[in-house]
Amino acid sequence: MDQWRNARRAAAIIAALIFSTSVAAADPVADFYSSHKMTVLVGSDVGGGYDTLARLMARHLGKYIPGNPTLVVQNMPGAASFIAANNVYNVAPKDGTVIGLVQRTILSANVTKQSGVRFDVEKFSWIGNLDKETSFFLAWHDAPVKSAKDLFTTELVIGGGGPTSDSEVQARMLNALIGTKFKVVSGYPGQNQILLAMERGEVHGMGGWGWNNVQMHEDLLKTGKITLLLQCALDRLPQVPDLPTPFDFVKTDEDRKALELFYLQQTVARPVLSPPSVPADRLAVLRSAFMTMASDEEFHKDAAKAKLEVSPSSYAEIEKVVHTISTTPRNVVDRLAKVVTPPGG
C-alpha cells in the first residue's frame, strides 16, 4: 500500500515539475501573436513607394515575430500621413497589433506647428526605418522647364497631393528659400494620379518623387518622357552626381540650416511606428524582428524584384533624428515653419 502511495506521490511531483517547466518555458509574446493578426497602416495611396514598401515588409516581418502573425496592409492616405499618424497615436490598439508606415514629414510636424496634428512625435513607439531617401523634382518632356536653371526664370506647374503633402511642402519651401517658381495645382490623391495628370497635360511636373519611384518608372526616364531637375537630400545620390541640389542655390546661412533641418528627415524617410505605450516585451520583439528582417537575403531579393532599394536602420536612428529636430535652435525652426506652413495654416 505504501508502495502505491509513494508511487502516486512521485508521479504527482513529476507532473507538477513538468507543468511548472512548461509554464516557465511558455512564451507569452508568441502566444499573443499566434492568435492575433497584425495591421500595417500606410499613410499613402495604393501603388506608390510607401505602399509598395509596406507590402514588402508585410510579406517578411511576420516570420521573425514569435507566433508568426499574418500582416495585413491597410491604406489610410491623406494630409501627408497625418491622418494615419493620428490614427496610430489615438485610435489604434496599443497592444502591438498595429504598426504604421508614414511619410517622413511627420517628424518635424510638432516643431513647425502644422495644423491637423494630434500626436506627439516623441511618444511614438518607433520600430525601425525601411529606407533613406533622395527626392526629386521632375518635368514632363514637353514642359517649358528643361533644367534646374530654368526653375528660377520660368514657372513650372506641378501637381500636389494637398497642402501638407511632401510635393507641396517642398515647392513652397524652395520658392521661399532659393527662389524657384513652382506653381502648385493641389488635390491629387497620390503620386500615381499626378503622373497621369502630367501625361494628360494638366500639369507639367511633380515634386517629392523618391528614387524608388524613379526606379519603378525607369522607362519614363530612359525614353526621355521625364526630366529630373533637382535632387533633394543632404547628400548627392551617386547615381546622379551632377544633378543640382537646393543647396547649390541657397544664399543665407539661416536658409541653409532650414533646408538641412527639413532634409534631415530623409535620412529616415520610411519610418515604421506603433502607438505609445505598447507593452515593452512586444515592442522589443517587434524591433528585433525588424532588424532581423533587414538582414534577410530573401527580403532584399524580394525588394530588388520590385525595383526597390532598401537601406533599413534601427528605431534608435529615428529617435536620434527626432531629438535633433526637437532641439534645433528656435530661429531655424521658425524659419522652416514659416516657409512650409500652408497659407492660412
pLDDT value of residue 26: 62
Q: What is the pTM of this model?
A: 0.83
Q: Is the dihedral of CA 85, 89, 92, 95 positive or negative?
A: positive
Contact 132, 103 (CB under 8 A): no
Q: Is 327 helix (H, G, I), strand (E, B) or coil?
A: coil
- Cβ atoms 146, 139 nearer than 8 A: yes
Instruction: Outline where 91-210 has alpha helix (H).
Output: 166-177, 191-200
pLDDT, residue 201, reads: 95
Q: What is the pLDDT of residue 101?
A: 97
Amino acid 4: pLDDT: 45
**Which segments in the chain show pLDDT lower than 50?**
1, 3-5, 7-8, 10-25
pLDDT at position 86: 97
DSSP string, 68-119: ---EEEEE---GGGHHHHHHHHHTS-SSSSEEEE--GGGGGTTTTT-TT--S
Domains of the chain in start order, with CATH, are: 36-131+270-332 (3.40.190.150), 135-264 (3.40.190.10)
Give pLDDT, residue 344: 67
**Location of C-alpha cell 511642402:** 169
pLDDT tens string 85-132: 999 999 999 999 999 999 988 999 998 888 889 999 999 999 999 999
